[in-house]
Amino acid sequence: MTDTTSTRSALTFEVNRRSDPTPADAIAKVHENPGFGKTFTDHMAVIDWTSDGGWANARVVPYGPFQLEPAAAVLHYAQEIFEGMKAYRHADGSIWTFRPEANAARFANSARRLALPVLEADDFVESLRQLVSVDRAWVPEPGDSGEKSLYLRPFMFASEAFLGVRPADGITYCVIASPAGAYFSGGLKPVTLWLSINYARAGAGGTGAAKCGGNYASSLAGQLEGIEHGCDQVVFLDSSTHTFIEELGGMNLFIVYKDGRIVTPELTGSILEGVTRRSILALAEEVGLRPEERSIPIQEWKDGAESGAIAEIFACGTAAVITPVGELRWEGGSCNHRREGHDDAVALKLRSKLLDIQYGRVEDTHGWLTRLV
Ligand SMILES: *Cc1c(COP(=O)(O)O)cnc(C)c1O
């Protein structure tokens, strides 16, 4: 646990506050039922980059539209990356975030893959601190569900107006924030997954391991196909053999066996390495499970559901934390590992372990928390 709000960033943020901040009662109204990604706080943090000047003009300004030229490269060539994190309010009023150095490192990797400039980890964390400090009133109390937070969305894009194809020379980095409740409105009811055969989200040598908007754009057709088949989310397989489980459009997957193994697809270069995934692998042994990272043929899921060897399947990511999975459907078939009397004991235990750490309800023995405010 890094219990300090001091900064090692060399950037100085100029703060320009809104003259008409949202009144406390209006924020309270948003906090009652925040949903996900609908309402944004009063401010945003922005930093500009050019190859000559490097990172400059760090600032916190009122949340509002960008001035973007129609020729801005991001609109044509999708040179863009993002991150997803949360700020958690603890009982004493202090505000913390979870493993930001992991997000900073991933953001740097994504930047390298998309030929964007790297923002130093200290500057990345400082941008979160600056925004959350100004908009601290927007960080909700955990609430009855015990899991309300302020979702933080750092992102970076090619803002240079130029239609030639090369890495852009004008880049905008920005952080926006949005109060978050439960990600899936239906509560913790299991999601039904669609097995995508027609579409892959990423391929060998592609951008699957980078957190970039393009991966999400390419997952949407599969998502639509899933919705047409009554499913909530899509499972993507490896693009070359259509054999091995990769992940969902925006979440990693775990299979829990009755014999105590907890298995997740190994990182192949086309899977996004989730911070939640990594944390679950670390927590698994503490709850008496045997974690494995390896390739998982989709047939193993079907067989394990049929034989009863699979106890639970769940998806994980910052936004939804841990979400139990139910049925798997595909063109012409389906399987379901859930039987009479099924519970999601492992998913729920890991979920509350994570949330207890994030909200400071238990000791942070892993040193995963960093204080923002
Ligand atoms: C962000 C993301 C995840 C989950 O990562 P976390 O760090 O756990 O939030 C998983 N898969 C994809 C494709 C993602 O973009």
Q: Is the pLDDT of residue 186 over 70?
A: no
Q: Report the C-alpha gap between 366 and 257 in whole angstroms.
A: 26
- Which residue's CA is the closest to the ligand 1 atom numbered 2? 250
CATH fit for domain 191-343, picks 3.40.50.2300, 3.20.10.10, 3.20.20.140, 3.40.50.10280: 3.20.10.10
Ligand 1 binding pocket, CB closer than 6 Å: 84, 211, 247, 250-252, 272, 274-277, 317-318
**pLDDT digits over 48-57, tens only?**
999 999 999 9
- CATH 3.20.10.10 domain range(s) in the chain: 191-343
* Cα 215 to averaged position of ligand 1 atoms, centre (Å): 11
Note the pLDDT tens digit of each residue in 78-119: 999 999 999 999 999 999 999 999 999 999 999 999 999 999
Per-residue pLDDT, 2 = 59
Q: Is the pLDDT of residue 1 over 90?
A: no
Pocket test for ligand 1, best of 318, 321, 323 (most atoms within 8 A of CB): 318
With a threshold of 0.85, does the pTM exceed it? yes
What's the mean pLDDT in 337-355?
95
Q: Tell me the CA–centroid distance for residue 323 and ligand 1, in Å.
A: 13
State in Å: Cα 25 to ligand 1 middle. 33
Share of the chain above pLDDT 90, in %: 93
Pocket test for ligand 1, best of 251, 254, 316 (most atoms within 8 A of CB): 251
Parallel, antiparallel or unpaired: strands 252-257 and 233-237 = unpaired
> Ligand 1 test: best mutation among 151, 193, 252, 273, most atoms within 8 Å of CB?
252
Look up residue 266 and give its two tokens.
């190994």
Residue 148 — very low, low, confident or very high, per pLDDT cuts 50/70/90?
Answer: very high
Q: What pLDDT digit, counting tens, does each position of 291-304 carry?
A: 999 999 999 999 99
Distance 209 CA to ligand 1 centre (A): 10
Which CATH topology does 14-184+362-371 take? D-amino Acid Aminotransferase; Chain A, domain 1 (3.30.470)
Lowest mean pLDDT among 13-27, 172-186, 342-356: 172-186
In the chain, CATH 3.30.470.10 covers 14-184+362-371
Name the closest-CA residue to atom 6, ligand 1.
274
Q: Residue 3: its pLDDT value, please?
A: 57
| pLDDT at position 250 over 90 | yes
Q: Taking the CB of residue 219, how many other CB atoms lie within 10 A of it?
A: 23
- pLDDT for residue 4 is more than 60: no
**Residue 353: per-residue pLDDT:** 96
* Residue with CA closest to ligand 1 atom 1: 250
Q: What band does 6 get if pLDDT is binned at 50, 70 and 90?
A: low
Average pLDDT over residues 252-272: 97
Give me ligand 1 centre to Cα 371, in Å: 22
Say which range, 142-146, 212-216, 260-264, 305-309, has the weakest mean pLDDT.
142-146
pLDDT of residue 145: 78
Pull the structure tokens for residue 326: 């139910």
Give the model's pLDDT for residue 327.
98
